[in-house]
Amino acid sequence: MSEGGLAVLLDQNVPRAIAAWLRSLRPDWKVWHTAEVDLSGKSDPEVFDWAQAKKAVIVTFDEDFADRRMHPPGSHCGVIRLRVWPTTIEETQSALERLLEGVPEGDLTGCLVIVDARHIRIRKAVR
């Protein structure tokens, strides 16, 4: 976790407007969108490495980041995998609002968090 709040990287498949919305909701968080940090069109490994260097939780619709064989919980700063459809601004905001209301900030770091239309599942590192 970064000083003053969570660091978050929104993947390129997350609507860019979510960055401004999330910043207004959590002003103490450092929020980046891939389009703002020259990561548009970059590969998943490049996006992942950038997020790890910044100690940022990745928010994505991409199921590859949720592959626990490639990215086991505890081996990264955190992944929030959104599984809502359609992937509109409104549906994305709704999913993230449920997450922010129901899950403490500390439970987002180092974990795989899957948010679907009805549930929030948190996969923590196996100890």
- For the chain, give every domain's residue range: 7-123
CA pair distance 93, 110, nearest whole angstrom: 22
CA pair distance 124, 127, nearest whole angstrom: 9
pLDDT tens digits, one per residue of 24-53: 999 999 999 999 999 999 999 999 999 999
The mean pLDDT value of the chain amounts to 92
In terms of Cα–Cα distance, which of 62, 66, 63, 54 is closest to 113?
A: 66
Higher pLDDT, 127 or 109: 109
Question: What is the reported pTM?
Answer: 0.93
